[in-house]
Amino acid sequence: MDVEKLFHMAGGTGPTSYARNSSLQKKASDTVKHITLEALQQLYLEIDPKTINIADLGCSSGPNTLAIIKDFVQTVEMTSREILQNPAPEFHFYLNDLPTNDFNSVFKALPDFHRQLRNERGGGSSPSVYIAGYPGSFYGRLFPNNSLHFIHSSNSLHWLSKVPPTLYNEMGESINKGNIYISESSPSAVSKAYFKQFQEDFTLFLRSRSEELVVGGRMVLILLGRIGPDHVDRGNSFFWELLSRSLAILVSQGEIEKEKLVAYHAHFYAPSKEEIEGEVGREGSFKLDQLDMFQVERQGHDRGESYGSAVARTVRAIQESTIIHHFGIGEGVLDNLFEIYGRLVDEEMAKEEIKPLTFVLLLRKL
Amino acid sequence: MDVEKLFHMAGGTGPTSYARNSSLQKKASDTVKHITLEALQQLYLEIDPKTINIADLGCSSGPNTLAIIKDFVQTVEMTSREILQNPAPEFHFYLNDLPTNDFNSVFKALPDFHRQLRNERGGGSSPSVYIAGYPGSFYGRLFPNNSLHFIHSSNSLHWLSKVPPTLYNEMGESINKGNIYISESSPSAVSKAYFKQFQEDFTLFLRSRSEELVVGGRMVLILLGRIGPDHVDRGNSFFWELLSRSLAILVSQGEIEKEKLVAYHAHFYAPSKEEIEGEVGREGSFKLDQLDMFQVERQGHDRGESYGSAVARTVRAIQESTIIHHFGIGEGVLDNLFEIYGRLVDEEMAKEEIKPLTFVLLLRKL
């Protein structure tokens, strides 16, 4: 599967779009917003550039994309005014996601966004905010040398560049039969394959960003992770386990082929603290100023629905592009799949809570 | 009509898309390509930056968008190798169009475009080419201060920021009844209203670009124009005259309301050489190094169709977004409109050729 061409959050603004089903991601991002904004403030005070260049990697499309820009502008303007007593810099935002992301939706929202920015300042002069879309994989270079001051990436770096190729033997058969991610019944070669892919990808990510950032530049990375050395947990791997089971139920219903399920894998990895620290140290261009783990609290039941249904909607908005491509199924079977999935999540939650674990990393370019 | 929200080339890649109906625009751009590339080469030799920042304003979507980037890269690389004997710089391309442009189509083509760039170099190291989308109106600031070396804009600047408001009297009635652009029967206040709007828009364009360009930076602007002081000609205004007539036929067929036709106007202006020189001089930040006029040769009949039909397809890809919005008509009536239009163009061409006139301007930031 060519992730660059296929993987994308569900576009548009309809009921199953990512735009309308990304409140869990927003919650994670909001929980650590103070860390992000403090890092930005520190960076700004140290470097004090005339134009501040900020990239958001894996920006996706929807309300989260532009909300964070507003926070960045407010923080820097406030710092200019109250601490530096200088005019605010110009802002240059670089929004990145894969080329299949729905950038059109983001761009169409820009005229109103600029109007809002102006109005909220109550008649003062407008901030100079320039916003660009940069399509491409962040596992590789995206921006010119030394062109960025600050990088933010929320809920993206747990996505690998590809399904680890060593998950398949010479005959092209999966060594992780029936599981779509590392699970209790996976042989140890499966965890190794995933870890190796994470190491390659994360190192390439760090090296690429290190060329793009100025010295002293900061990165705040928010990604799913796991609590200890064991890969199988109720934090993140269990959500995949339940998706495996849901797909297996579709096989038993004759809706999808067993061979297709056996060949399907998540291009995902939840690293541990030690694994992250190991890669940052080995790569060598960054100092890890902070690494915290937190749990995103369970959502309120906004729409009078169960937690499982809310999770199912979120996971669907993320996964449906690859599921449709791999299994070749239509809307009806997808509805069925995520109804089953939501039910399984609710059943498990009744036994014991499943809490997604998230890391926030603050890195400084040496 | 809010041009920023409504006006855009027909998106996607279907039979009526701009992507498939923009060969006339490509022809204009190709005719003057040597001027564009020579200007880029001169600029590069003078400034020799490590990263060269190039903006394309009104990039639209389709094959023309990326084709020009390839020419730019080749020219600069060749100049580095053969004249400067230096390594090539990094390339930073800023693609601009209105927020409703189909950027998704452009972005989806990027992975293959990068692959092609690599392959064509026959195993040599890849050029570093970073491509971003910058949605927004070029009648205002788009990029940070002093951030660009070279600006290119082809077939865009004849579009005004809006229909001139002075075309309507205090009661909101048009003073140019039944005409959608300046025509023989238009009162002189109509030409004045259009000229005034052009002056405002073009000056704002020059002022905005002057803040964005470094000193010595170049702009190549390709836009439709007219040959002398008379606004009514067979070069450009006559194409609008024929569109007026086609719409009038739809009124007589009961397909659209007369009131709607009376209220409809093109947000277009074809300036003369003197008018362009006047604005550049008054604005004062640029030196006009070159200003040439040329005629785009009549198209070959690629698809075994008449010239009129080819023109109708092109005009439709450009105009249908505003026509649909204004008249509220569907696909069938649109087909009918542009069939009539194509026929009228053929009829006129049988009498005497109608040749669109195009200007190419080369400007240098003082």
Q: What ipTM was assigned to the predicted interfaces of this complex?
A: 0.88
Rounded to whole angstroms, how far apart are CA atoms B49 and A353? 57
State both tokens at A84: 């530096």
CA distance B239 to B228: 17
Which residues of chain B does A141 touch, with a Cβ-Cβ cutoff of 8 Å? Answer: 128, 130
Using a CB-CB cut-off of 8 Å, the residues of chain B touching A4 are 111
pLDDT per residue as tens digits for the range B61-115: 887 889 899 999 999 999 999 999 989 999 999 999 999 999 999 999 999 999 9
List the structure tokens of A104.
Answer: 């059109």
Look at A51 and B90 and tell me if their CB atoms are within 8 Å. no
How far, in Å, are A261, A360, B51, B117, B334 from residue A293 at the CA level? 33, 6, 39, 42, 58
- Tell me which residue in B103, B128, B134 faces A104 most closely, judged by beta carbons: B103
B51, B102, B143 member nearest A145 (Cβ):
B51
Residues B329, B256 contacting (CB under 8 angstroms): yes
Q: What is the CA radius of gyration of chain A?
A: 21
Dihedral angle sign, alpha carbons of residues B118, B121, B126, B128: negative
Residue from A90, A97, A107, A108 whose CB has the most chain B CBs within 10 Å, to mutate: A107
How far apart CA A116 and CA A125 sit, in angstroms, is 13
- Assigned token pair, A343: 């039910």
Tokens of A19: 């735009």
Selected for mutation to probe chain A from B66, B118, B130, B137 (highest A CB count within 10 Å) is B130
The distance of B89 to chain A (nearest Cα, Å) reads 10
The answer to whether A219 and A213 have CB atoms below 8 angstroms apart is yes
Q: CA–CA separation, A161 vs B151, rounded Å?
A: 35
Residues B10-69 have pLDDT tens digits of 777 777 777 777 777 777 777 889 999 999 999 999 999 999 999 999 998 887 889 899
With contacts defined as CB-CB under 8 Å, which chain B residues touch A144? Answer: 51, 90, 92, 128, 130
Residue B301: pLDDT over 60: no
Q: What distance in Å separates residue B102's CA from the closest CA in chain A?
A: 6
How near does any CA of chain A get to the CA of B155, in Å?
22
B110/A136 CB distance under 8 A: yes
**Mean pLDDT of all residues in chain B?**
90
pLDDT tens per residue, range B334-355: 999 999 999 999 999 899 888 8
Element housing A245 (H / E): helix A237-252
pLDDT tens track for A160-202: 999 999 999 898 889 998 899 999 999 999 999 999 999 999 9
Residue with tokens 């239009």: B341
The whole-angstrom distance between A333's CA and the closest CA on chain B is 27
Q: Report the interhelical angle of A307-327 vs A23-31 (nearest 10°).
A: 110
Please choose, from the candidates A129, A62, A360, A138, the residue with its C-alpha nearest in 3D space to the C-alpha of residue B143.
Answer: A129
Q: Are B219 and B213 in contact (CB under 8 A)?
A: yes
Nearest to B130 among A103, A128, A143 (CB): A143
Looking only at the bridges linking them, the beta strands covering B357-365 and B286-295 are antiparallel
**Which pair of structure tokens corresponds to residue A133?**
């879309």
Which pLDDT does position B123 carry in this prediction? 60
Instruction: Give one DSSP letter per residue of B165-216, joined into a string.
Output: GGGB-TTS-BSSTT-SS--TTS-HHHHHHHHHHHHHHHHHHHHHHHHHEEEE
Q: What is the pLDDT along chain A (366 residues), one digit of tens a residue?
A: 677 776 777 777 777 777 777 777 777 777 889 999 999 999 999 999 999 999 999 998 887 889 899 999 999 999 999 999 989 999 999 999 999 999 999 999 999 999 998 888 766 677 899 999 999 999 999 999 999 999 999 999 999 999 999 999 898 889 998 899 999 999 999 999 999 999 999 999 999 999 999 999 999 999 999 999 999 988 888 899 999 999 999 999 999 999 999 889 999 999 999 999 999 999 999 999 999 998 877 655 566 788 888 888 888 888 888 899 899 988 899 999 999 999 999 999 899 888 889 999 999 999
**What domains lie within chain A, and their CATH numbers?**
3-365 (3.40.50.150)
Locate A264 and state its tokens.
């399907």
pLDDT digits (tens, 9 = 90+) for B140-169: 999 999 999 999 999 999 999 999 999 998
d(C-alpha A183, C-alpha B290), whole Å: 69
Spatial distance between the Cα atoms of B117 and B131, rounded to a whole number of angstroms: 13
3-state secondary structure (DSSP) of residue B26: helix
Give the minimum alpha-carbon distance from A357 to chain B in angstroms, rounded to a whole number: 33
Length of chain A counted residue by residue: 366
Q: Which residue of B has its CA nearest to A5?
A: B108
The pLDDT score that the predictor gives to residue B32 is 87
SS3 B258: helix
Q: Which residue has the tokens 């890969």?
A: A231
Q: Are B246 and B308 in contact (CB under 8 A)?
A: no
What confidence score (pLDDT) does residue B234 get?
Answer: 84
Could you tell me which of B75, B237, B82 has the C-alpha nearest to residue B158? B237
Residue A339: predicted pLDDT:
94
Write phi, then psi, for A17 (nearest 5 degrees): -70, 155
pLDDT at residue A310, as a whole number: 86
CB atoms under 10 Å from CB of B110, counted, come to 17
- Give the separation between CA A224 and CA B352, rounded to whole angstroms: 69
Q: What are phi and psi of B290, to 5 degrees?
A: -160, 145
Report whether pLDDT(B138) > 80. yes
Ramachandran bin of A75, using left for φ above 0, alpha for ψ from -120 to 50, beta for the remaining angles: alpha
Which one of B103, B114, B118 would you mutate to disrupt binding with A, by most A Cβ within 10 Å of its Cβ?
A: B103
- Compare CB distances from B108 to A99, A128, A133 and report the shortest one's residue: A99
Which residue matches tokens 């990895």? A269
In one letter, which amino acid is B338? F
Residues 6+ apart with CB under 8 A from B196: B164, B166
CB A66 within 8 A of CB A106: yes
Nearest CA in chain B to A146: B51
What is each CA distance from B222 to A320, B29, B58, B288, B291, in whole angstroms?
Answer: 44, 7, 11, 13, 10
CA dihedral A239, A240, A246, A249 (to 10 degrees): -140
* C-beta atoms of A145 and B4 within 8 A: no
Helices (H), chain B: 3-6, 23-31, 33-47, 63-79, 103-108, 110-120, 188-212, 237-252, 258-263, 273-283, 307-327, 331-351
Query: Which contiguous run of DSSP H or E holds residue A262?
Result: helix A258-263
**pLDDT (tens digit per residue) in A11-31:** 777 777 777 777 777 777 778
Contact (Cβ atoms closer than 8 angstroms) between residue A272 and residue A229: yes
